């Protein structure tokens, strides 16, 4: 069994601290996805697990060993990179076999392992080809095959699908998840793409400025974000954030408990009201809780994204069924929502209990 444990892990470059005490426990065979914007520290965290960056403070364990002082080759890991890192002068077979040859694995065993990985990844017909003769998806399969033949305890993925087009990324996501479950290997996967995070992960770690803001199952993080950052990053299109003042004209129409909470004895200074686009709907003026002017719409087939401008210049995005007709640009749109779908955040961006 191979678990990964990060305890109060910190990383500094000189006087600049970039990872601020991260604690994560990863179970045997679990797929953890670290997600966040560029510069949040997710790749630095992965590189510390891999041994490519030193740990300034804290402890990293793989299995029953503390690995802080171990070299990458001593950690029993395999890493798949964004740029494939294939040797251009070697064919697919030799690329996949290279690590085993270096470790002086017997030739018969190398052939057996490469054949097994090639069958698993549907690369059997490409073993004699050079990387330049392969598509992007096939090159990524070779990179994964090279990792598989080593039979590591842990897979580390550093944004492996970033160079692929949208359709191929979707296909490769499915292949990676299927492969990881079939092999039962513990995996740590880094991406900036929240769609990858939601579809691949058993649990996600949402990073923000070197801090793990929330760790949990993808749908739990989506439904119950602890901070405004998490709420805005997870979900596409992102959550709408509104000042309570935009509800002033419709205050009498708001559910009594919500109205009392927003405008009662609690000061609304710094308070932010979050509502996801899919929790808003176009409605008649009589039922409207918000009214804005349509600036443009995005018909996507099954759904349409409707973009409005509320009074005081506040933008609002509504996700609407693609079959519902949308007013013309410049016309008023009336919007309603369910009180239970509202998220409330304080001036520091922390989730607070509502009415």
Domain positions in the chain = 4-233, 240-352
Least confident of 45-49, 87-91, 189-193, 344-348: 344-348
pTM of the model: 0.89
Give me the architecture of the 4-233 domain, per CATH. Answer: 3-Layer(aba) Sandwich (3.40)
Q: What is the pLDDT of residue 308?
A: 94
Highest mean predicted confidence (pLDDT) among 169-178, 227-236, 336-345: 227-236
What percentage of residues in the chain have a pLDDT greater than 70? 97
pLDDT digits (tens, 9 = 90+) for 294-314: 999 999 889 999 999 998 788
Residue 81's pLDDT band (cuts 50, 70, 90): confident
pLDDT digits 0-9 by tens, 207-251:
999 999 999 999 999 999 999 999 999 998 999 999 888 887 777
Q: Give the whole-angstrom CA distance, residue 210 versus residue 296.
A: 36
What's the distance, Cα to Cα, between the start and end of the chain in Å? Answer: 45
The pLDDT score that the predictor gives to residue 266 is: 53
Pick the closest to residue 243 from 298, 183, 315 (CA basis).
315
- pLDDT one-digit tens code per residue, 122-161: 899 999 999 999 988 889 889 889 988 988 999 999 988 8
pLDDT given at position 276: 96
Summarize the confidence of residues 64-73 as an average pLDDT. Answer: 93
Please give the share of the chain, as a percent, with pLDDT higher than 90.
60
Give me the mean pLDDT over the 268-284 stretch.
86
Report whether pLDDT(268) > 70: no
**Could you give the angle at the alpha carbon of 240 between the alpha carbons of 237 and 243, nearest 5°?**
170
Least confident of 13-17, 52-56, 186-190, 329-333: 329-333
Q: How many CB atoms lie within 10 A of CB 96?
A: 30
CATH 1.10.3080.10 describes domain 240-352: no
Which helix (H) or strand (E) is 143 found in, with range?
A: helix 136-148
Can you tell me the mean pLDDT for 159-176? Answer: 83
Degrees, nearest 5: CA angle 326-330-335:
50
The answer to whether the beta carbons of residues 258 and 245 sit under 8 Å apart is no
Tell me, what's the pLDDT at 63? 92
- What's the CA gap between 117 and 96, in Å, rounded? 9
Which residue has tokens 């970039």?
18
């Amino acid at each position: 069994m191979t678990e990964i444990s990060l305890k109060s892990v910190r990383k500094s470059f000189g006087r600049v601290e970039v990872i601020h005490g991260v604690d994560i426990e990863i179970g045997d065979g679990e797929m953890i996805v670290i997600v966040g914007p560029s510069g949040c520290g997710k790749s630095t965290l992965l590189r510390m697990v891999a041994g490519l960056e030193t740990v300034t403070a804290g402890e990293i364990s793989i299995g029953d060993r503390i690995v802080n002082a171990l070299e990458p080759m001593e950690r029993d890991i395999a890493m798949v990179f964004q740029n494939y890192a294939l040797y251009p002068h070697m064919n697919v077979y030799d690329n996949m076999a290279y690590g085993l040859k270096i470790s002086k694995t017997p030739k018969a065993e190398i052939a057996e392992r490469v054949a097994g990985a090639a069958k698993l990844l549907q690369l059997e017909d490409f073993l004699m080809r050079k990387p330049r003769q392969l598509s992007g998806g096939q090159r990524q399969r070779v990179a994964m095959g090279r990792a598989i033949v080593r039979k590591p305890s842990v897979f580390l993925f550093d944004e492996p699908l970033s160079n692929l087009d949208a359709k191929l990324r979707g296909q490769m996501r499915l292949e990676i998840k299927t492969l990881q479950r079939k092999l039962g290997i513990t995996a740590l996967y880094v991406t900036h793409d929240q769609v990858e995070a939601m579809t691949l992960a058993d649990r996600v770690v949402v990073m923000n400025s070197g801090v793990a803001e929330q760790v949990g199952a993808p749908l739990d993080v989506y439904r119950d974000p602890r901070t405004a950052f998490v709420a805005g990053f997870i979900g596409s299109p992102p959550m709408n954030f509104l000042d309570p003042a935009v509800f002033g004209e419709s205050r009498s129409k708001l559910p009594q408990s919500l109205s009392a909470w927003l405008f009662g004895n609690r000061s609304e200074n710094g308070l932010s009201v979050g509502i996801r686009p899919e929790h808003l709907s176009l409605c008649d003026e009589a039922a409207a809780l918000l009214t804005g002017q349509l600036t443009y719409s995005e018909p996507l087939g099954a759904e349409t994204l409707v973009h409005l401008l509320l009074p005081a210049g506040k933008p609002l995005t509504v996700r609407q069924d693609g079959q519902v007709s949308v007013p013309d640009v410049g016309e008023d749109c009336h919007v309603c929502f369910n009180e239970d779908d509202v998220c409330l955040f304080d001036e520091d961006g922390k989730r607070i209990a509502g009415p």
